[in-house]
Chains A and B, each alone.
Chain A
Amino acid sequence: MNRHSIYEPENAKILNIREQTEKEKLFEIELESGEPLDHDPGQFVELSIAGVGEAPISITSSPTKEGASFELCVRAVGNVTNALHNLKINDEVGIRGPFGTGFDVEEFKGRDVLFIGGGLGLAPLRSLINYVIDRRDEFGKTAILYGCREPCEILYEDELDQWDEMTNMDLHQTVDRCPEGVCWEGNIGVITTLIPHVDFDPDTTIAAVCGPPIMYRFVMEELKNRNLPDEQVFLSLERRMKCGVGKCGHCQIDGLYTCQEGPVFNYADVKDVEEAL
């Protein structure tokens, strides 16, 4: 990044917007410079809207994606994210990053990969999933477990169908509940209920887990029951952030900086860190 200051966002343009659910939209963005972001799966950017502020957002597209643009999947929950949702194609935003430590793809290579995503947690995972798909022969078997609260909250529906049809890719979905009158033929129950459906070899499997804070505890317990070693689990954590570059202090998890050592952590490194999970 050769900006004047680590706090100066680079201008970028919204190329496309796709509505995902009532609260999530997928934004395709390209930097004014026309350069690709050059990120690792699991990294994030600081998205800036002048006059409103900044928010850290995971990059949901894979670095292997064609073209210079990248994608962010954003849930409208507050000032910046609401303002972003009000923008239109061709509007400008500011981007800083990519920041943080993403998934170490070298670690994943040659192994079977188990993706476990809860809700919006699928956003950062999708970057890695598509990376694996684009370099299919470098990885072993893959399975995706994806859970949402309700069917209306499901992200990337077209892509899920594509993933489902791929050979060598095992996709399982669940919802916590299905309101009356909504059509849902899949599993109902929390995400941990999907784990027994997949068959994996703890010796050769590596898991990437991402979801809301409470999900982790239950998922980890279940994976432990299946003898998956802690070192073979990577997870992505979220904390308040103001700078993204290890200065502002907000994202500290005990001694760890989410924006530096994370957001993707090896489970073995954080399992004993009280503030982490």
Chain B
Amino acid sequence: MSGKPKAAFFDLAGCEGDQLQIANLEEKVLDLINIVEVVSFREIMKEHSDDYDIAFIEGSVTNDHLAERLEEIRENASIVVGLGSCATIGGINSIRNSQDHEEVKHRVYGDQADLFPSWDKAKAIEDVIKVDYHVHGCPIDRDEFIHVVESLVLGKDPEIPNYPVCVECKLNENICAFERDEFCVGPVTRAGCDSCCVNEGTICWGCRGLIDNPNDDAHSDVLEEYGLSAEEVMKKFNLYFGWQQEARKDE
């Protein structure tokens, strides 16, 4: 990329909380537009152009229409970055991947259910197109987003942790959930959030997805030892890992 790279933001099925994190950069947004030229960002601007180098995509793919859009974006962009869990791992949308789709549809739309174009599973964008980088999290961490942008502009690979959240939990001197009679999926979840949910007194829910090589068998055993039923363990994993676990099975 010579000169200022052009960036565009897109959203598929998601809550747009990740784009909000970018708006929430406050003054730093001005620094951001100094190093990349934002040519499309529907949430805050009217202008739009299909001439861009980096595409940031939020949200999951859930139907053919979105998949087509995604493919178009891939063709236009030289770098595609997934923004937030829905895009990077299917996110909360993939809870329903373990549910019966007919039931899912009917519960919400009754007899009009079939009017809906929706796949039976919500998918990470990686399921449809090649994705170059991921900014994980629900929502994304602003500092990590800055790190990724900064790295891409400088032409280096961003450093995204591939160790579990427990690492950050230790650095932050938290009391482990398991010592508080709670259940946590931090031991198999990718760090990078600075263990923010545990810092705030709760547990890690798994929003950044599994690390590359999680010991999930061990973790299922441990959760059961601590008192969850096998079904509850599955639900713990289904909250965010639904799409990922299936994708791993296919490998």
- Is B155 an interface position by the 8 A CB rule? yes
Q: Would you call A34 an interface residue if the criterion is a C-beta within 8 Å of the partner chain's C-beta atoms?
A: no
CB pair A86 B157 closer than 8 Å:
no
Interface pair A52/B154, CB less than 8 Å apart: yes
Q: How far is the CB of B150 from chain A (nearest CB, A)?
A: 8
**Whole-angstrom CA separation of A148 from B154 in the bound complex:** 32
CB closest chain-B residue, reference A80: B156
Give Cα distance in the complex from A83 to B153, angstroms: 12
Using A79-B157, A83-B154, A83-B156 as known contacts, list a sample of 9 further A-B pairs with CB atoms less than 8 Å apart, ordered by residue number in A.
A51-B154, A52-B154, A52-B156, A78-B157, A79-B156, A82-B155, A82-B156, A83-B155, A86-B155
Q: Is the interface of B mostly helix, strand, loop or mixed?
A: loop
Task: Scan residues 34-78 of chain A and give those whose CB is less than 8 A from a CB of chain B.
Answer: 51-52, 78
Which residue of A51, A78, A79, A86 has the most chain B CB atoms within 10 A of its CB atom? Answer: A79
Task: With both chains docked as a complex, state the minimum distance between the C-beta of B148 and any C-beta of chain A, in angstroms.
Answer: 13
Alpha-carbon distance between A187 and B157 when the two chains are bound, in angstroms: 39
- Chain A residue contacts of B157, Cβ below 8 A: 78-79
- Alpha-carbon separation in the docked complex, A76 to B142 (Å): 30
Contacting residues, chain B, for A82 (C-beta < 8 A): 155-156
Q: How far is the CA of A52 from the CA of B157 in the complex (A)?
A: 10
B137 to chain A, nearest CB (A): 23
Can you list 12 A-B contacts (CB < 8 A)?
A51-B154, A52-B154, A52-B156, A78-B157, A79-B156, A79-B157, A82-B155, A82-B156, A83-B154, A83-B155, A83-B156, A86-B155
- Residues of chain A within 8 A (CB-CB) of B154 are 51-52, 83
In angstroms, Cα B155 to Cα A52, docked, is: 10
Nearest CB of A to B110, in Å = 54
Report B146 CB to chain A, min CB distance, Å: 13
Q: Which residues of B contact A51 (CB under 8 A)?
A: 154
Bound: A51/B159 CA distance, A = 13
Please, what's the 1-or-0 string for B26-64, where 1 marks a CB less than 8 Å from any CB in chain A?
000000000000000000000000000000000000000
The distance in angstroms between the C-alpha atoms of A82 and B155, with both chains bound, is 9
The CB with the most chain A CB atoms within 10 A, among B154, B155, B156, B157, is that of B156
Q: How far is the CA of A82 from the CA of B156 in the complex (A)?
A: 8
Top-3 shortest CB links A-B: A79-B156, A52-B156, A79-B157
Docked pose: A78 CA to B157 CA in angstroms: 8
Instruction: Give the CA-CA distance A51 to B157 in the complex, in Å.
Output: 12
Min Cβ gap A55→B in Å is 12
CB interface residues, B 156-180, toward A, < 8 Å: 156-157
Least CB separation from A78: chain B residue: B157
A70 to B97, CA, bound (A): 59
> What is the bound-complex CA distance between A266 and B157, given in angstroms?
36
The smallest C-beta distance from B42 to any residue of chain A, in angstroms, reads 32
Q: How far is the CB of A94 from chain B (nearest CB, A)?
A: 16
B residues within 8 A CB of A78? 157
Docked Cα-Cα span, A82 to B154, in Å, equals: 11
Which residues on A sit within 8 Å (CB–CB) of B155?
82-83, 86
Chain B nearest CB, measured from A147 CB (Å)? 30
Q: What CA separation (Å) do A179 and B110 show in the bound complex? A: 65
For A52, the chain B residues whose CB sits under 8 A away are 154, 156
Tell me how far the C-beta of B117 lies from the nearest C-beta in chain A, rounded to whole angstroms.
43
Interface string of A88-125 (1 = CB under 8 A from B): 00000000000000000000000000000000000000
Measured in the bound complex, the distance between the Cα atoms of B91 and A62 in whole Å is: 56
A52 to B, closest residue via Cβ: B156
Chain B residue at minimum C-beta to C-beta distance from A53: B156
Whole-angstrom CA separation of A247 from B17 in the bound complex: 41
Q: How far is the CA of A235 from the CA of B154 in the complex (A)?
A: 36
> Bound complex: CA of A119 vs CA of B156, how far in Å?
25
